[in-house]
Amino acid sequence: MRSTWTKVDDSTNCFRFYAISLAQDLFNDYVVSAEWGRMGTKRYRRKVAVFESKVDAVAYVGKLEQVRRKHHYQMADAQI
């Protein structure tokens, strides 16, 4: 699962992206990876969180998406 969020505001020179992905690793843990930065650059930041249950991982993804909505990001793409 992957969702991409963007925030574009020409008046404040704001061109940001935020990507959230959820995957299962080889040890049957669930890995949530969040990447963010300025659109068009090669540099970005990444935060990774590991969960033992899918319920906890999905709840964490929901929390991240709620924060993106609060900060006026728009969903650009979602893949299941």
For the segment 50-59, what is each residue's pLDDT rounded down to a tens digit? 999 999 999 9
CB 50 within 8 A of CB 22: no
Task: Identify residue 53 by its one-letter amino acid code.
Answer: S
Query: What is the rounded average pLDDT of the residues 38-52?
Result: 95
Q: Where are the domains of the chain?
A: 2-75
For the segment 1-26, what is each residue's pLDDT rounded down to a tens digit? 899 999 999 999 999 999 999 999 99
Provide CB contacts within 8 A for 61, sequence distance 6+: 1, 3, 20, 22, 32
Q: Which pTM was predicted?
A: 0.88
Token couple for 79: 């893949």
DSSP 8-class letter at 42: S
